[in-house]
Chain A
Amino acid sequence: MSDFPILSALIVTPALGALVIAILPNRRPEYVRIVGYLFSIATLALAIWLLCNFETRAGYQFVESESWISNLGVHYKVGVDGISLFVVALNALLFPIALLASASITERTKAFFVWMLALEAALMGVFLSLDLIVFFVFFEFVLVPMYFLILGWGHGRRTYAALKFFIFTMAGSAFLLVGLLTLAFLHSDATGTLTFDLGVLTAWAPNGLDPTVAAVLFFAFFAAFAVKVPLFPLHTWLPDAHTEAPTAGSVILAGVLLKMGIYGFLRFSLPLFPQASVDFAPVLLVLATIGIIYGAIVAAMQPNVKRIVAYSSVAHMGFAVLGVFALTTQGLDGGVFTMISHGLTTGALFLLLGMLYDRRHTYEVSAYRGLWKVMPVLGGLFCVAAFASIGLPGFSGFIGEFLALIGTFITEKPYAVVASIGVVLAAVYLLWVFQRTFMGRPTGDNATMKDINFRELACVVPLLALSLFLGLYPKPVLDRIEPSVQKIICQVEAGSDYKEPEAARTTATFGSHAKLGLTSESCATKAATK
């Protein structure tokens, strides 16, 4: 079993699903659905297998490598580590749920399912590939299904939103392509071999690049990832895309697509350009902090529920970026954890909003009132999802935000303090929405709305249950994230003048935990023993 190409299977299974659906007859949408569910659930099963067999250590596992375009040095190389593991799992989890939530899609069902499964395959590729060209191909390919999903099954101003989404991310990607080609060619100039292998380039780039060039390349990569995050002030495509996208599109967009940005920072920016990352960290911290506060304030002023949640994503992703560029173990742990948690809670919120939309075809806050009275279960779940998103302790959101903030506080106190205000603001906009839509007396059309049905329950409950579980017992996830996180920090330390503060790395000697052997070696000691 150990030779089984599990990672390729994760990419191929949904792609195969898309192909199979493509050849199914148009007249039988029920077959389309069943096949779609089957393939996405099979992918989920594979992801669960991967979770169970993942070893808690740093470095890539289940690596597969095949030469692809040999004269250009392009390899098909995939691998998984603690950073990508849970994003892959989240991707595998959200797709069956998003498909199940798409019962209201009755037009061109076949095309919808094809695009969705193609999107899943592309996203798997993004998080698994370890070759820059292969990564870029997947990174770009993600745009295509998403574009057509918004355009084909979106609401209102979907043409505008889809095009805006496309142009924004394409503009960022252009820089990325230029950057990665430059990097590879410079490496080839210096060493004589042309390769896009991330491992080889990561080993070479920190010391092999001229600092100015490294800074320029950092910026090229940054441009692509910052748009995806999205980082203030590049965020304006997000509310439009979210608002006009169909529910499944929003769930995937928030749950997985935004993570491509954070993931890119972790996988490429920090290891490849450590000194530039350290130098530019203050800029990112400032933008992230602005994003947290700004996203929350603007969210509070939106008349459209979906826009509120969309802007809240700007704030949440701000916490993730803050954690990552705090460059401490807690910060990076928190950043990675926030990626996962945000996928669960915001995914749940979008699903619930989709249920309201299915019933009433509007996202205007003012259209709803007193829903808790007529929909006690849906109201209760919305309340849970809201508090999970607010970051109430006991839910996963708290773990991510707390770690990101405490990790930031160790190195950059002012940012952490200002960003903490975002925690209060999150309560302001979500409780406002909840009060306006679910409290009061149901009037007019609100009085006859039907409560959640079994299919809808099956969509939302797993996400909220997971959020609760991870909030109370995040250890299994943190244990698997941490070795990879520490490896990144070691890479940054080795390639720059930065040193992680001792407090972040080692457990206080006087706490009761030193004896449990939980203190980790510093990078320096690790290097010395080698």
Chain B
Amino acid sequence: MARDLLDLVWLVPLLPLLGAGVLLLAGKRIGEPKAGWLASGTMALAFVWSLVTFFALHDLPAHERSHVTTIFTWLPSGGLHVDMGFLVDPLSVTFILFVTGVGTLIHVFAVGYMHGDERFSRFFAYMNLFCASMLILVLGSSFLVTFLGWEGVGLCSYLLISFWFERRGAALAGKKAFITTRIGDLGFMIAMFLIFSEVGSLDYSALGAASGLASGTATVIALLLLLGAVGKSAQFPLHFWLPDAMEGPTPVSALIHAATMVTAGVFIIARAHPYFEASPDAMTVVAWVGAGTALLAATVAIVQPDIKRVLAYSTISQIGFMFLALGVGAYSAAIFHVVTHAFFKATLFLGAGSVIHGNGDNQDMRIMGGFRKLLPITALSMVIAWLAIAGVPPFSGFWSKDEILTKAFLVEEYGVWVFGVLAALLTGFYMTRLIFLVFLGNERWKAVPVVSGGADDAEPELEWDPEEPTVAFGEPVRAVKVSEDHPPHEAPPTMAMPVLLLAGLAMVGGFLSIPLKGLEFLVEWLHPVFEDVPEIHTPSFAKGLALAGASVLVALIGIGLAIKLYRRGLDAPDQDPVVARLGPLGRVFGNAYYFDEGVSRLVGGPLKRAATWLSDTFDVRGVDGAVNGVGALVQRGALGLRKVQTGRVRTYALWIVIGMVGLLLFFLLYVGR
């Protein structure tokens, strides 16, 4: 019975896929808001079916909780045989539960958020397709099926980030996201080639072969997979697409950051962990990529003026924590943090969406302040999520982050641990800064000039929409649309309710796994997937408590510092105390270490020049020039034979035939004898 139900797991990705198909073909006719409700409905049904799948799997004895269902043969070619199949095990079920659950709430929120958009139904088609791709990614029974979802996620992120394609920033950001992640996908693809040529199968059922490989081969495979993971999960050095991805509508950001896409990298490392376990070197690299990214991204987050940018760098940093956990072999802890992060980051993004929506599309925190009275529900939700991400017990983020740091300490990766602790401190700081700048402190928006209407009509011939919502570091404050006559307002219930629900999850999500005997539900549940991994022994109660105490203390220091600086808001919009105190370092942080700029300069400068030379000089003058040169030479040489040059193809053809016969004779005489 249970297995029969598990065979039907394909319903989970199929439902949103169907929704996407219907909306793409008939979305205009369905119209607003039905299209949104249809998309939300397919996601809700997928969630229900995920629950059914969960219970069906749970009914099986722990060691039998792995079930492959094959739909059809996808790619048969010689020794390569790939089925379109789905693997149901605790890891994939954990992912489908939160992808569909959080995804549904984001869909519902978006019905309100996207109200009045001219491409309303198209938006929901993409959203459904996005979730369907993510579900295929996590459910795939082989690397190749996962890759199908993996690239589908890439496609949808492109479509959604560029959704408002009239804006130059959005158009560029989508392209950047797709191409940057595709560099990572290159690693994924070559890893598959290597796995196939070494192991002979891309199925996850063949993962066990990893331990039999030469450690050098395992390391190469693991590092190539890591490259793929780094791209999708926006880790250093392929992280720079994610902050730009903010150009998409806010529900998209929530979906990318919380439920889909960026967790894909964590998933693939967890799924392919035998290759990483077979290579200690690769594990070290994973841990340090994670730790480094966690810290660096957090330093960038502390000075950003744009609310969504803070959250974007926060995501990069939090995913860094997950990579850190993967790298020290604490896979369950990484997945735990994926889940709690999905809760609180979805809350934060949707909350930020409400804030932006409610104050005239302004994202600049320097000109917000005191919103708690005007947006009470949003404020409440955001405060819960803030405490969760900052690591204040008993909110969810505390449990998962503490789990990660404790495990890192216990395996004696002290360097990584120190990075993690510092990043946790900064997390407390930048989130507190965000909350105080937006919801508390002085109401700076009252003092800012109001936008005068009709600016768009003045320049109808503009090639791009002038509206660029993102506020870069160091940018002057712009005019706002809110004033005392039109103050910021709370979101409608369809938007506020999903946020509040998510905040509830962010509050209690930590109880999924409390590091006490009998309460580690999630860890126990995931255990069959990671049973081949050497166990990290639980610390003595006192040591565990001490480490947890350290975590809390660090978080509180970060929070306290921020409160001290931002208690009253800002004296003037352009006077940010942390920027002032950091001095030149603040500029480095604010510009994200100039990494993005460096990449742009490299691509736009030397690389572009080389490509231009190749196409305009080498191809035209070199390759084609040689051809035309031969032609010209012949022409010049034939000046004496001008009468032959009739310019008629028939004559040329005749000469070609004569030439051929000559060649033929030559060949026959030479070769034949």
Closest 4 CB pairs of A and B: A508-B200, A329-B78, A511-B201, A301-B615
Does B664 contact A504, Cβ atoms closer than 8 Å?
no
Does A178 contact B183, Cβ atoms closer than 8 Å?
no
User: Which one of B360-368, B385-393, B653-661 contacts A?
Assistant: B653-661
Does B206 contact A301, Cβ atoms closer than 8 Å?
no
Given contacts A302-B615, A423-B182, A511-B200, contact A505 B147 (CB under 8 A): no
Jot down 11 A-B pairs with beta carbons below 8 A, ordered by A: A171-B656, A174-B656, A182-B667, A294-B614, A330-B77, A409-B196, A440-B171, A475-B72, A502-B79, A508-B199, A511-B81
A359: shortest Cβ distance to chain B, in Å? 19
User: Which one of B34-42, B57-65, B148-156, B487-495 contacts A?
Assistant: B148-156
Partner of A435, one of B79, B144, B171, B205: B171
Q: Which residues of A contact B182 (CB under 8 A)?
A: 423-424, 427
Q: Which residues of B contact A294 (CB under 8 A)?
A: 614
Does B623 contact A236, Cβ atoms closer than 8 Å?
yes
Does B652 contact A440, Cβ atoms closer than 8 Å?
no
**How many residues of B sit at the interface, in one of the four size bands?**
35 or more
Q: In whole angstroms, what is the CA distance A154 to B209 when docked? A: 58
Q: In whole angstroms, what is the CA distance A213 to B659 when docked? A: 21
Does A393 contact B78, Cβ atoms closer than 8 Å?
no
Does B189 contact A420, Cβ atoms closer than 8 Å?
yes
Q: In whole angstroms, what is the CA distance A424 to B231 when docked? A: 13
Known: A168-B627, A170-B653. 8 other contacts (CB 8 A): A167-B652, A380-B24, A406-B80, A410-B197, A423-B189, A439-B165, A440-B166, A506-B78
Q: Which residues of B contact A236 (CB under 8 A)?
A: 619, 623-624, 627
Q: Is B671 an interface residue (CB 8 A)?
A: yes
Measuring CB to CB, which residues of chain A are less than 8 angstroms from any residue of chain B? 147, 163-164, 166-168, 170-171, 174-175, 177-178, 181-182, 185-186, 189, 213, 216, 232-233, 235-236, 294, 297-298, 300-302, 328-330, 333-334, 369-370, 372-373, 376, 380, 383, 387, 392-394, 398-399, 402-403, 405-407, 409-410, 416-417, 420-421, 423-424, 427-428, 431-432, 435, 438-441, 443-444, 472-475, 478-479, 482, 486, 502-513, 518-520
Q: Is B553 an interface residue (CB 8 A)?
A: no
Does B74 contact A473, Cβ atoms closer than 8 Å?
yes
Q: Which residues of A contact B196 (CB under 8 A)?
A: 406, 409-410, 503
Q: Which residues of A contact B75 (CB under 8 A)?
A: 399, 402-403, 474-475, 478
A19: shortest Cβ distance to chain B, in Å? 22
Partner of B175, one of A232, A330, A432: A432
Does B193 contact A441, Cβ atoms closer than 8 Å?
no
B198: shortest Cβ distance to chain A, in Å? 8
Given contacts A236-B624, A406-B193, A510-B209, contact A329 B77 (CB under 8 A): yes
Closest to B613 in A: A301
Given contacts A301-B615, A475-B74, contact A507 B463 (CB under 8 A): no
Does A405 contact B623, Cβ atoms closer than 8 Å?
no
Q: What string of 1s and 0s marks CB contacts (under 8 Å) between B174-204 and chain A?
A: 0100110011011001101110110111010
Given contacts A181-B664, A427-B178, A508-B200, contact A513 B77 (CB under 8 A): no
Closest to A300 in B: B611
Given contacts A424-B182, A478-B77, A507-B81, contact A435 B615 (CB under 8 A): no
How many pairs, one residue from A and one from B, have CB atoms within 8 Å of each other in the complex? 229
Q: Is B73 an interface residue (CB 8 A)?
A: yes
Q: Which residues of B contact A213 (CB under 8 A)?
A: 671
Q: In whole angstroms, what is the CA distance A511 to B208 when docked? A: 11
Q: Which residues of A contact B24 (CB under 8 A)?
A: 380
Q: Is B1 an interface residue (CB 8 A)?
A: no
Does B671 contact A174, Cβ atoms closer than 8 Å?
no
Q: In whole angstroms, what is the CA distance A444 to B462 when docked? A: 10
Given contacts A427-B182, A438-B165, A503-B196, contact A475 B73 (CB under 8 A): yes
Q: Which residues of B contact A175 (CB under 8 A)?
A: 663
Q: Is B55 an interface residue (CB 8 A)?
A: no
Q: Which residues of B contact A416 (CB under 8 A)?
A: 190, 193
Q: Which residues of B contact A478 (CB under 8 A)?
A: 75-77
A214: shortest Cβ distance to chain B, in Å? 11
Closest to A519 in B: B79
Partner of B206, one of A181, A372, A511: A511
Does A393 contact B148, Cβ atoms closer than 8 Å?
yes
Q: Which residues of B contact A398 (CB under 8 A)?
A: 151
Quick one: which of B194, B199, B463 has the most chain A CB within 10 A?
Answer: B463
Q: Is B612 an interface residue (CB 8 A)?
A: yes
Q: Which residues of A contact B197 (CB under 8 A)?
A: 406, 409-410, 503
Residues facing A in B59-113 (CB within 8 A) are: 72-81, 84
Given contacts A393-B148, A478-B77, contact A174 B659 (CB under 8 A): yes
Given contacts A406-B80, A439-B166, A511-B206, contact A423 B186 (CB under 8 A): yes
Q: Is B162 an interface residue (CB 8 A)?
A: yes
Looking at chain A's contact residues, is the secondary structure mostly helix, strand, loop, or mixed? helix
A380: shortest Cβ distance to chain B, in Å? 8
Q: Is B641 an interface residue (CB 8 A)?
A: no
Does B186 contact A520, Cβ atoms closer than 8 Å?
no
Does A428 contact B73, Cβ atoms closer than 8 Å?
no
Q: Which residues of A contact B649 (CB under 8 A)?
A: 147, 163, 166
Quick one: which of A163, A235, A394, A506 has the most chain B CB within 10 A?
Answer: A394
Does B183 contact A503, Cβ atoms closer than 8 Å?
no
Q: Is B616 an interface residue (CB 8 A)?
A: yes
Q: Is B461 an interface residue (CB 8 A)?
A: yes
Q: Is B516 an interface residue (CB 8 A)?
A: no
Quick one: which of B72, B81, B619 has the most chain A CB within 10 A?
Answer: B619
Q: In whole angstroms, what is the CA distance A482 to B73 when docked? A: 15
Q: In whole angstroms, what is the CA distance A333 to B78 when docked? A: 9
B615: shortest Cβ distance to chain A, in Å? 4
Does B614 contact A297, Cβ atoms closer than 8 Å?
yes
Residues facing A in B587-604 (CB within 8 A) are: none
Given contacts A330-B78, A432-B175, contact A185 B656 (CB under 8 A): no
Q: Which residues of A contact B186 (CB under 8 A)?
A: 420-421, 423-424
Q: In whole angstroms, what is the CA distance A510 to B659 when docked? A: 59
Q: Which residues of B contact A474 (CB under 8 A)?
A: 74-75
Closest to A408 in B: B193
Q: Is B414 an interface residue (CB 8 A)?
A: no
Given contacts A185-B668, A479-B76, contact A513 B194 (CB under 8 A): no
Does A301 contact B611, Cβ atoms closer than 8 Å?
yes
Does A370 contact B166, Cβ atoms closer than 8 Å?
yes
Q: Which residues of A contact B178 (CB under 8 A)?
A: 427, 431
Q: What string of 1s and 0s marks CB contacts (under 8 Å) between B304-329 and chain A?
A: 00000000000000000000000000
Does A406 contact B192, Cβ atoms closer than 8 Å?
yes
B592: shortest Cβ distance to chain A, in Å? 23
Residues facing A in B133-172 (CB within 8 A) are: 144, 147-148, 150-152, 154-155, 158-159, 162, 165-166, 168, 171-172
Does A178 contact B667, Cβ atoms closer than 8 Å?
yes
Does B611 contact A297, Cβ atoms closer than 8 Å?
yes
Q: Which residues of B contact A328 (CB under 8 A)?
A: 78
Q: In whole angstroms, what is the CA distance A330 to B165 when docked? A: 39
Q: In whole angstroms, what is the CA distance A311 to B199 when docked? A: 36
Q: In whole angstroms, what is the CA distance A298 to B622 when docked? A: 13
Closest to A166 in B: B649
Q: Which residues of A contact B72 (CB under 8 A)?
A: 473, 475
Does B179 contact A428, Cβ atoms closer than 8 Å?
yes
Closest to A485 in B: B78
Q: In whole angstroms, what is the CA distance A363 to B68 when docked? A: 50
B189: shortest Cβ distance to chain A, in Å? 6
A478: shortest Cβ distance to chain B, in Å? 6
B200: shortest Cβ distance to chain A, in Å? 3
Given contacts A329-B79, A518-B81, contact A369 B463 (CB under 8 A): yes
Q: In whole angstroms, what is the CA distance A189 to B119 when docked? A: 73
Quick one: which of A387, A403, A439 has the most chain B CB within 10 A?
Answer: A439
Q: Which residues of B contact A370 (CB under 8 A)?
A: 166, 463
Q: Which residues of A contact B144 (CB under 8 A)?
A: 393, 402
Residues facing A in B107-133 (CB within 8 A) are: 119, 122
Quick one: which of A178, A181, A407, A473 has the most chain B CB within 10 A?
Answer: A178
